[in-house]
């Protein structure tokens, strides 16, 4: 499993250091650097061996400055163990890829020419020095820096699935593909090779028409004349003929086909939507039939899939990651694949002042987030729209659907275009939900404003002792929830509280069955010029969301006063 990524001076990444988990989701706006992060992993551990041709020069250097060394380090666990000629074991925990200029001129190079190196690193982040010769009498054992070979790189090799979703990436003939892995066991169990060879020759005889034979003869005779320098005896044993791509390994030639109403279409000739569905099917086959795989890196898994298919694919990826079948790393623009409830998987990528930063939940933030999640265990499971908060530039966190409707109506009356501002109003599903979502926002560096009801009502005026006691208990519970929200916000967010509640201020009964509609009707009649003072927190919260820039919102202080606060 890959455990950490460090990148320096690669495209928009001047320097980032990112922990990687069993499931890791990179989210962020277009152009923030998500694809660059995945590309960095692919360069080191992907299907193609890294070389100077792997880089676009100077575009892949930060600021197009080729004097700055590109450095990409990928750490993994368990480490690779190399035994040298003295039987000493050397643990390799990372690979480092660099693209940098030579400092001195040499026989085959000039100072300033670029070159690419891939090196193994031990726990001290140094290249191990290993014995490469056997000890002999009168001679010293020779030691050299350990080189990266195919076996070492295969130890942490990844499968990279880009946004194109072509089935051609997944055919059994592609090295490291899922189908290739699934077919490994099939190849070993296949015991009808002689029968297949006989059927294959029959099929070729059927295909080899007179015209085909004529083409074969012409190609063969011409090729033999070109190879006459080998001698007549050698060329007489040469035979050239058409055949399938790899008859010695027939499983590599298998391709998925799409059949409908008697029409058969090769899978890689289909539209990308159907190809994406077939790719999901391949992943499902791996989940059910495959073993351990390693690491899969996917660029925008939601591409070309309708929402229900996105949810299915997301659950599938989560399951194979949770079961330990493989590590899954992806970038996404879909709230379905960015689950606030699984905050530990999120890596928020943003650009600020020309630099890319990656925010994630730190170890010190995990425990309070886990406690908040436990209090809101069921409420956050089935609402993907709440996950949109991780894509927002700033967020207004509300207690419920009615509060969200109210905030959106006020924003409309104020003439604010929330989408244009990258702002969002979130229905958190209750105060426990507000605590969870604001803790996630705080951990991931997302500016937020909070709006909720105080829900504290006078109990002294209640004459019935039992009802008064019940109200006092409710007040106590609400104070505890309000205090948890204040504590969770710390000194980063702003909190606006409506007293005692939005429904009370608008004259709507607490047990009304159609609160959102009533709230919309009541606010539709409100003129902002002569609004009730009790509605002040609602209006100020919306203004705060729309009028405060990101930096100010990030540095904002908590406002714990009930009612309108300046």
Task: Give the whole-number percent of the chain exceeding pLDDT 90.
Answer: 58
Look up the domain containing 222 and give its range: 176-254
Residue 139 lies in a domain: no
Residues 544 and 436 in one domain: yes
504 CB-near residues (< 8 Å, 6+ apart): 510
Q: Which DSSP symbol is given to 176? A: T
Regarding whether 196 and 84 lie in a shared domain, the answer is no
- What is the mean pLDDT of the segment spanning 300-322? 93
Q: Round the average pLDDT of the chain to a whole number and report it.
A: 88
Q: How many separate domains does the chain show?
A: 3
Judge if 241 and 298 occupy the same domain. no
- Residue 565: inside a domain: no
Say if 274 falls within a structural domain: yes
Residues 98 and 215 in one domain: no
Q: How confident is the model at residue 556 (pLDDT cuts 50, 70, 90)?
A: very low
**pLDDT digits 0-9 by tens, 496-554:** 999 999 999 999 988 888 888 999 999 988 888 888 889 999 999 999 998 755 443 33
Beta bridge partners of 18: 5
In a domain, 385, yes or no: yes
Alpha-carbon distance of 335 to 385, in angstroms, equals: 7
Q: Note the pLDDT of residue 551.
A: 41
How far, in Å, CA of 366 to CA of 370, rounded?
6
- In the predicted structure, residue 380 carries a pLDDT above the cut 60: no
The last residue of one of the domains, among 254, 289, 304, is: 254
> 90 - beta bridge partners?
82
Asked whether residue 148 falls in the same domain as residue 217, the answer is no
**Is 136 within a domain?**
no
Q: What's the sign of the alpha-carbon dihedral 546, 548, 549, 553? A: negative
- Is the domain of 432 the same as that of 545? yes
Q: Is the dihedral of CA 362, 368, 371, 376 positive or negative?
A: negative
Where are the extended beta strands (E) located within 69-157?
Answer: 70-83, 89-101, 114-121, 129-131, 143-145
Give the CATH number for residue 356. Answer: 3.40.50.300
CA distances from 369 to 206, 361, 404 (A): 67, 9, 23
Element (H, E) at 492: none
Average pLDDT over residues 344-350: 96
Q: Which residues are catalytic?
A: 510
449 and 516 belong to one structural domain: yes
User: Which SS3 state, helix, strand or coil, does residue 480 take?
Assistant: helix
Q: Between the CA of residue 355 and those of 71, 159, 219, 477, what are the distances in Å? A: 17, 28, 58, 44
Position 562 scores a pLDDT of 34
454 falls within a domain: yes
pLDDT digits (tens, 9 = 90+) for 98-125: 999 998 888 888 888 999 999 999 999 9
Q: 503 in a domain, yes or no?
A: yes
Assess whether 180 and 219 both reside in one domain.
yes
Q: What is the DSSP letter of 136?
A: B
Looking at residue 235, what is its pLDDT? 72
The whole-number pLDDT of residue 492 equals 66
Contact 12, 316 (CB under 8 A): no
Overall average pLDDT of the 149-155 stretch: 93
CATH number at residue 469: 3.40.50
The predicted pLDDT at position 57 comes to 94
Residue 352 in this model has a pLDDT that exceeds 60: yes
pLDDT of residue 35: 95
Find the angle CA(377)-CA(380)-CA(386) to the nearest 5 degrees. Answer: 155
Asked whether residue 523 is domain-assigned, the answer is: yes
Of 332, 360, 388, the last residue of a domain is 360
Claim to verify: residue 404 and residue 512 sit in the same structural domain: yes
Same domain, 474 and 489: yes
Do 149 and 190 belong to one domain?
Answer: no
> What distance, in Å, lies between the first and last C-alpha atoms of the chain?
50
pLDDT of residue 554: 38
- Give me 217's structure tokens: 């003869």
Instruction: Using the predicted structure, report yes or no on whether residue 566 has a pLDDT greater than 50.
Output: no
Q: Say yes or no: 278 and 354 in one domain.
A: yes
Q: Is 51 buried (19+), middle (13-18) or exposed (0-12) by CB count in 10 A?
A: exposed
Query: How many alpha carbons lie under 13 Å from residue 312 in its C-beta half-sphere?
Result: 13
List CB contacts of 95: < 8 A, sequence separation 6 or more: 44, 45, 73, 74, 76, 118, 119, 120, 121, 148, 152, 153, 156
**Separation of alpha carbons 295 and 327, rounded Å:** 5
CB atoms within 10 A of CB 100: 17
Domain boundary among 254, 283, 314: 254
330 touches 298 (CB < 8 A) = yes
């Amino acid at each position: 499993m890959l455990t950490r990524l460090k990148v320096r001076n690669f495209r928009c990444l001047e320097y980032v250091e990112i922990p990687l988990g069993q499931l890791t989701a990179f989210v962020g706006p277009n152009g923030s650097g998500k694809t660059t992060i995945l590309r960095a992993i692919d360069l080191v551990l992907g299907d193609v061996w890294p070389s100077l041709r792997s880089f676009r020069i100077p575009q892949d250097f930060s600021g197009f400055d080729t004097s700055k060394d590109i450095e990409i380090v990928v750490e993994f666990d368990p480490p690779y163990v190399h035994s040298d000629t003295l039987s000493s074991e050397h643990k390799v925990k990372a690979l480092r890829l660099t693209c940098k200029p030579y400092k001195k001129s040499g026989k085959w190079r000039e100072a300033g020419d670029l070159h690419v190196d891939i090196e193994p690193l031990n726990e001290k982040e140094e290249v191990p020095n290993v014995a490469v010769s056997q000890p002999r009498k009168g001679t010293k054992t020779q030691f050299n820096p350990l080189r990266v070979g195919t076996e070492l790189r295969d130890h942490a090799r990844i499968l990279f699935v880009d946004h194109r979703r072509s089935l051609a990436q997944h055919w059994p003939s592609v090295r490291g593909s899922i189908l290739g892995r699934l077919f490994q066991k099939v190849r070993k169990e296949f015991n009808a090779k002689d029968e297949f060879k006989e059927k294959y020759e029959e099929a070729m005889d059927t295909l080899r028409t007179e015209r085909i034979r004529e083409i074969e003869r012409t190609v063969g005779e011409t090729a033999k004349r070109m190879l006459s320098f080998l001698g007549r005896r050698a060329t007489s044993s040469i035979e050239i003929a058409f055949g399938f791509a790899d008859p010695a390994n027939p499983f590599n030639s298998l391709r998925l086909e799409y059949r409908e109403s008697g029409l058969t279409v090769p899978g890689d000739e289909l539209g990308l939507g159907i190809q994406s569905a077939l790719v999901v099917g391949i992943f499902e086959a791996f989940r059910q039939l495959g073993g351990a795989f390693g690491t899969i890196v996917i660029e925008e898994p939601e591409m070309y899939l309708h929402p229900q298919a996105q949810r299915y694919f997301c659950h599938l990826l989560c399951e194979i990651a949770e079961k330990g079948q493989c590590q899954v790393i992806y970038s996404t623009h879909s709230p379905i694949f960015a689950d606030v409830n699984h905050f530990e998987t999120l890596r928020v990528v943003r650009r600020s002042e020309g630099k890319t930063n990656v925010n994630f939940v730190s170890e010190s933030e995990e425990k309070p987030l886990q406690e908040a999640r436990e209090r809101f265990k069921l409420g956050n499971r089935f609402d993907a729209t709440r996950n949109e908060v991780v894509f927002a530039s700033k967020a207004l966190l509300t207690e419920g659907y009615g509060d969200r409707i109210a905030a959106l109506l006020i924003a409309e009356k104020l003439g604010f275009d929330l989408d244009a501002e990258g702002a969002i109003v979130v229905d958190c599903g209750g105060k426990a939900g507000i605590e969870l979502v604001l803790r996630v926002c705080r951990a991931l560096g997302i500016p937020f404003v909070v709006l909720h009801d105080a829900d504290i009502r006078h109990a002294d005026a209640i004459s019935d002792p039992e009802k008064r006691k019940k109200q006092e208990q409710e007040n106590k519970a609400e104070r505890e929830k309000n205090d948890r929200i204040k504590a969770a916000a710390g000194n980063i967010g702003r909190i606006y509280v409506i007293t005692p509640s939005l429904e009370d201020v608008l004259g709507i009964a607490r047990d009304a069955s159609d609160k959102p509609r009533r709230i919309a009707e009541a606010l539709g009649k409100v003129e902002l010029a002569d609004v009730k003072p009790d509605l002040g927190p609602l209006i100020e919260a919306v203004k705060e969301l729309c009028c405060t820039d990101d930096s100010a919102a990030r540095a904002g202080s908590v406002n714990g006063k009930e009612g309108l606060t300046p």
